[in-house]
Structure 1
Amino acid sequence: MRMTLRQIQVFRSVCQQHSYSRAAEEMSLTQPAVSLQIRQLEELIGQPLFDYVGKKLYLTDAAEALRKASDDIFGRLESLDMQLTNLKGSLQGQLSLSVESSAKYFIPHLFAAFRRDFPEVSLQLVVVNHQQAIKRLSTNRDDLL
């Protein structure tokens, strides 16, 4: 048995959320389904991916290595997707944008103009405070801040 992209997606969500429950919610899965995916990854790797201190979840060295590799894998897949889209001659995909609360008033107008020009691009906007914006930037959760 080998790792699947879905297992790695679940793993990445747990890493970002620092919680099986929040990862399950984010991915529209049940918490037991997330636990099963992580347990299968741990069996494949042969070591635990997370340590728990109290109720807090921490990444092990193995998890850090897998997270870095997964960033590379998904970055390459995104690059491939863009290259294939360019070959088709149209812009497609998803654009994730986080803005601080002060920008929430003018960004929708920019989104509307962008949407008219590129209707096949799915747009996602998250309004956050300054501290959350910095955290999202450091974890590479968005395309633009």
Structure 2
Amino acid sequence: MESRARASAEQFSTLLEFMDSHGHLAKPQPGAQGRLRADRLWQELADTLNSVGSGVRKTSDKWKKVWACWKSKTKKKALAIRRHASGTGGGPSCRLILTPLEARVVGVIGALAVEGHKIEEQGFEVIKPRR
């Protein structure tokens, strides 16, 4: 069985820099032209990442998967940290912390992607009985 080749730290850093400067790439592009532009950018990114001296070579589709997995894992970790921080005290401290690269991922995808929208709950109006 073939072992899974892992991207190097330099490739992750390069991926993050590219996504930081091309943040719209992570979002669906409208229309056929948007899709073609996104495909060209992903191919450019794959070529850049594959030319990094250390690390692995992957197709643009595989690099998309790397980015999607990294975003997903980072969002889950950030959410776990946030949930622990908003919980009641008394338990052990949370040992999870975001690495500097993970913190930058959150910056690229936006805190809203992790925290979600704030929703105000609407309560029922209390009607006092007549006397």
TM range (shorter): 0.3 to 0.5
User: Highest CA radius of gyration, 1 or 2?
Assistant: 2
- TM-score, normalised via structure 2 length: 0.33
Quick one: higher RCO (CA 8 Å, sep 6+), 1 or 2? Answer: 2
- TM-score, normalised via structure 1 length: 0.30
